[in-house]
Structure 1
C-alpha cells in the first residue's frame, strides 16, 4: 500500500469528524450532594475533635531547647512548606503557652486549633518557649511538637524564624476549609477562562 492510499483511507475515516467548539464544562448553580466517602471523612474528622484527648501524655523523646522541629503531611507542596518555614505567610492567630502545665497546654492547643479551623484561619503561631530552665528541659516544646501531627487539621508545622520566637515557637499551617477550596477553584476557573 502506498503513502497516497494510506492517506486517502485515513481521510475517508475522519471525514465526518468536526472540531470541538469548546472544552469547558459549564458550571451549574446546583450543588452536588456529598458522596458517602465525603460524609464518612467529615464524620471521622468531627469524631476526632470529640476525642482529642487521645494526644499522648505518656513519656516521649524530648528535644533540645534549640532544636528546630518540623512536620508536613503528604500532599503539602514543597514550595508551600518552604514559605511556611521561612515565615512568609501572614500570621492570622497566635497562642502563648508560657507558664501553662502540660495538661493545660494540651487543652489550649486542641481548642485553639479547632477555633482557628472553624474561623477559616490557615497560618498560626504557637509560642511554647524553649524550655531551657524547665525540668526536664524543653518538656512543653517536645510535647507540642509531638501533638500537632496527630490533629487532623494540621497540615504542616515548623520552628519559627527568630523574629517570631525562633526555636521557642512553631508556625502551624491548617488545612483549607471547603469554602476556601471552592474560592480557589473559582479563582482558577476565572484565570483559565
Structure 2
C-alpha cells in the first residue's frame, strides 16, 4: 500500500496543536511579595574576617604567629613542616573577597572534619608590579581573627616557601571529648 492510499480520508486539524511557551511578563502577587521580602531583608555576612586596610607584605616576608598557650615545641614542629598536611587551600588567582570567603569556609571545614594541620597556598605576588603580595597580606591579618586558628607559619621551601603557610587548627569539641575519654579511660 502506498502512502497516499493510507492518507485517504485524513483531514487537516483546524486548531493548532502547539503549546504557548512565551514568557509572561505579568507579575503574580506571590512574585511581588517574594521580591519585596528579599529587598527588605539585608544579606547577613556571618564571616568575621575584615577586608579593610592591611599591612602590605612582600614576597619574601615570612608569616609567623601563635596564640598564647601554644607550646614552643608544637610551634617549632609546625614551623619546620613536621606535621602531616591534612588539607590544602589554593588561593591563587582569587580576588580578595573570594579569598576571604574561602579562608573562612576552609577553616570552619577543618574544625568540622577534625583537620589539625593545613596548608594554604597564597602565592608570593612576585608578578605584581608593586611587589606587594596582596593575598598574603590579607591572610596574615585574617588568620589571627579566627578563634579556631592556633598558629601559622610560612611553609618550608618544598611546600611553597613564603608563598604558602602552615596553619594549626584548634580541636573540635568532639575531638576534645574523644581525647578526654581516651586519656582518662571514661
Answer whether TM exceeds 0.5 for this pair: yes
What is the CA-CA distance between 1:135 and the residue it aligns to? Answer: 4.9
Please identify which structure carries the higher helix content: 1
Q: Does 1:90 align with 2:90?
A: no
Q: Which residue of 1 aligns with 2:181?
A: 186
Deviation at 1:184, TM superposition (A): 2.3
2:166 aligned with 1:175, yes or no?
no
**What whole-Å deviation, never above 9, does each CA across 1:33-91 have from its counterpart, x for those lacking one?**
xxxxxxxxxxxxxxxxx621x42222211112111111111111111111111101111
2:77 equivalent to 1:102: no
Distance 1:74 1:88, change over 3 A: same
Counterpart in the other structure of 1:12 = none
Q: Give the structure 2 partner of residue 127 of structure 1.
A: 121
* Count of residues in Structure 1 that have an aligned counterpart in Structure 2: 141
Moved over 3 A (4+): none
What are the equivalent positions in structure 2 for 1:67-86 lying under 5 Å apart? 67-86=61-80
Partner SS, residue 150 of structure 2: strand
SS at match of 1:83: helix
Structure 1 portions without partners, runs of 5+: 1-49
Query: How do 1:1-193 and structure 2 match up within 5 A?
Result: 51-52=46-47, 54-136=48-130, 137-189=132-184
Q: Name the TM-score, length of structure 1 as normaliser.
A: 0.69
* Alpha-carbon contact 2:49-2:104 (below 8 Å) kept: no
Q: CA-atom RMSD, angstroms?
A: 1.7
| Greater Cα radius of gyration, structure 1 or 2 | 2
